[in-house]
Every structure is written in structure tokens, then in C-alpha cells.
Amino acid sequence: MSQNLLIPNSGSVRASMRSRCLLQYVHVGFRFVRYQCFPWLVLAIAPLKLLFASGVERIHEQVRYLSAIARIDFVRVYGLLNDLLW
């Protein structure tokens, strides 16, 4: 009963590929959600940090806040508000 341990079963290879593929899809989905929500999270957190920061840290937080505002697609936001109002 010699068994070659370097060659896995074909069933375990398929299961491994499925789980790897599923993890890749979840990772891509998480990155997309994080990319879409990131400016909004910065807009929520940066003003709170600005209250307690001073000196260089304060300038850093101001730059983060203004760059987050620049990343938001306000045309889409205004379109959503228009659809909600009318």
C-alpha cells in the first residue's frame, strides 16, 4: 500500500480551488465596499480628531478631511437626493 503524499486527491483539489475562489471574491467585494465607504468614514472621524489635535497632527487631519471631500462624487449624491425629493 504505497501512497504518494505529494499528489493530493482530485476531490480535495476541487474543494481547495472553490474555497480559494470564494475567498478571492469576498476579498474583492470587501475592497470595493471599503473604497466606496472610505471617504464617508473619514468625513465622520476627521472632525472629531481635529478637536483634539494640534500642530502638525492638526494639519494632517485637515488634509485628510479635504482630500476625502474631493474624492466624493457629489453628482451621484445630488442625483440620489433629487430622486428622494421628487
Read off the pLDDT of residues 39-72 as tens digits, 9 standing for 90 and up.
788 888 888 888 888 899 999 989 988 888 888 7
Per the model's pLDDT, the better-predicted residue between 40 and 24 turns out to be 40
Looking at residue 6, its pLDDT comes to 55
Looking at residue 80, its pLDDT comes to 81
Structural domain for 17, as ranges: 10-85
Nearest C-alpha neighbor of 51 from the set 61, 41, 43: 61
Looking at residue 56, its pLDDT comes to 92
4 located within any domain: no
The answer to whether 39 and 62 are in contact (CB under 8 A) is: no
Tell me 8's DSSP state: -
- Amino acid identity of residue 38, one-letter, is F
5 located within any domain: no
How many structural domains does the chain have?
1
Considering the entire predicted model, what is its pTM?
Answer: 0.51
Looking at residue 79, its pLDDT comes to 86
61 located within any domain: yes
